[in-house]
Every structure is written in C-alpha cells, then in structure tokens.
Amino acid sequence: MAAETGLSEERAIRGRWASSVDDLVSYRYLGCQSEATDTDHAVGRMQLRSDMRWSGGLLGSPLAIAMLDTAGINIDGIRFGALTHVAIRIHESAADVSRIRVDGEVARLAKRAMFTECQMVDFDDPSRVIANGSADWISLGDVAPGFEYLDPGPGILDEPPMPPLSEAYFAETFEEGGYVIRELRSEVGAELLHHGPAMVALEWQAKDSAEQTAPGEVLSLRTFDVRFLRGGTRPSFATRSRGTGRAGNIVWIQAELVDDKGLGDVISRIEITYQVTT
C-alpha cells in the first residue's frame, strides 16, 4: 500500500510539473536547450545575451540554470531530485563569446543522492573553457515511467536595452531593502519556489552589496555558490545580506532568501566572489 501511495504521489508531482512547465520562466526565458548523448552525459547550449552580463563579466544565475537544465536531461527521467547545492567557477568574462556549450555528466547516482558536473565552453571554440560547475541533489524516489524532456525553446531575442533578469524572474525591490518574490505562481513555481527565481533574486542582492563594497569599480564574477536548505512554500520570499568583505582585489558577498515575508525560515543561501578589474 505504501509503494502504491508513493507512486501516486510521484505521478501527481509529475503532473504538476507538466501542467506548469510552459509557464515556468527559469529555462524558457534563457533558452537553455539540452540533449542526452547517453544515460550519464548530456550536451546543452545557450546564447549569452546582453542581459546575462553585468559589470566586467558574466552573471552566475544564467550559467547555473543552464547547467541544471543539462543535468535534468539525465536525472529527471530516473529520480525525483531536490536540489541542495550549486557551485560555478567562472574562469573568464567571455566578452566575445556569443554562445556556450554545456557538457554535463552524472558523476554519481547513489541511493539517496545524485551528483552532477559540467564544463562550459565557447560553442564555436570548445577548447576555450569558460566555467566549470557542479550540482548536488537529494533523491526523492524513482520517476514513474513515461517521462519526456520538454525543450523550453530558444529563449527571447536579444534586443537591448533588455530588462534585468530580476524583473523577468519576478524579483521586485523590497521596501525594507533587498528583493522579494511576492507569490507562488506558475512562472516561478505554483506550489514550490523553483530554484531559478531563487538564484536570480539572491544574485541581485549580491550585486547590490558588491556595488556598495566596491563603488565605481569593475567587477568580474569568479565563484557562484548556492545552498538550498528547505523548500519554499510560504510566500513572500525576501532576500537579505549576511555579510560582505574585501581582500585586495577580491570582493566576497553572502546573502540569503527567507520565506514568510522575510520573517520565517531561511530557504537558500548564496556566497559569491568578484574580482575587481581595471
């Protein structure tokens, strides 16, 4: 009876995903597109639009979302996964790169956890490595048969001036400071806040803190690290700073996302480092 109940819950979860994926902004807006090459490997691609850049380099959240789309090709059809950790290491600003290729790999599929990795390269020159990343997941059980990956499409056209990603991902400026995602809706997650909008809101909080720490200076993202501590089911979700600092030409920022109008529990945390460039 327990197994039958679990299967019903899995089908229900999959049904909710299928009914909202056309509205979910995370992959669709950026145009992450992936294809499995075998059970453990996948290849993704994404245009680097003008709204995916800031100051002297790339934004981290689009890279992370692209990595997760590529990882999803391999794991979504096997296990339900709750994302716990995302880490990106950016090696250069990629100022002249128009499109990246994401080479994804399942590093390990354990009974209760999943570990995925990727390398991001210039699509036109694969020898040029732009970034490396990893994502860890808790396994919530097997997926019911019949799963099919839904291609989110090529994304929107790059027609500057582009709106900031915070606006596209429904992260508004908050009266008390920071950013807030005011409600659960199909675009950000109808019943559970999706990790895409959460990462965008956190990165925008970090950007603001970095601008205050290094006013007037050019910043290039070097590391982007997000931990997901619990599911976001109680809106609204508000960001707040945890700490900032500078050591030479490195600026570090910590921020978190809190549910229940910013008065509840921490659902995710970010730590970012920027290099100050001239």
- Beta-bridge mates of residue 179: 173
Confidence of residue 21 (pLDDT cuts 50, 70, 90): low
pLDDT in tens, 46-75: 999 999 999 999 999 999 999 999 998 998
With a cut of 70, say whether residue 213 has pLDDT above it: yes
Q: Which amino acid is at 151?
A: D
Distance CA 251, CA 184 (A): 33
This prediction has a pTM of 0.91
Q: Are 197 and 62 in contact (CB under 8 A)?
A: no
Confidence of residue 265 (pLDDT cuts 50, 70, 90): very high
**Where exactly are the structural domains of the chain?**
2-153+164-277
- Beta-bridge mates of residue 239: 257
DSSP the chain: -HHHHHHHHHHHHHHHHHHHTTT-HHHHHHT-EEEEEETTEEEEEEE--GGGEETTEE-HHHHHHHHHHHHHHHHTTTEEEEEEEEEEEE----TT--EEEEEEEEEEE-SSEEEEEEEEEETTEEEEEEEEEEEEEEEEEEPPTT-------S-----SSPPPHHHHTT-EEPTTSSEEE---BTTTBSSS--HHHHHHHHHHHHHHHHHHHSTT-EEEEEEEEEEE-S---SS-EEEEEEEEEEETTEEEEEEEEESTTTTS-EEEEEEEEEEEE-
What pLDDT, on the 0 to 100 scale, is given for residue 22? 66
With a cut of 50, say whether residue 9 has pLDDT above it: no
- Least confident residue range of 65-79, 105-119, 137-151: 137-151
3-class SS at 17? helix
Which two tokens mark 212? 């205050």
Domain 2-153+164-277: CATH architecture, name and number where available? Beta Barrel (2.40)
What pLDDT, on the 0 to 100 scale, is given for residue 251? 98
User: Who wins on pLDDT, 142 or 24?
Assistant: 24
Which two tokens mark 127? 């020898």
Distance CA 265, CA 75 (A): 29
Longest dimension (CA), the chain: 64
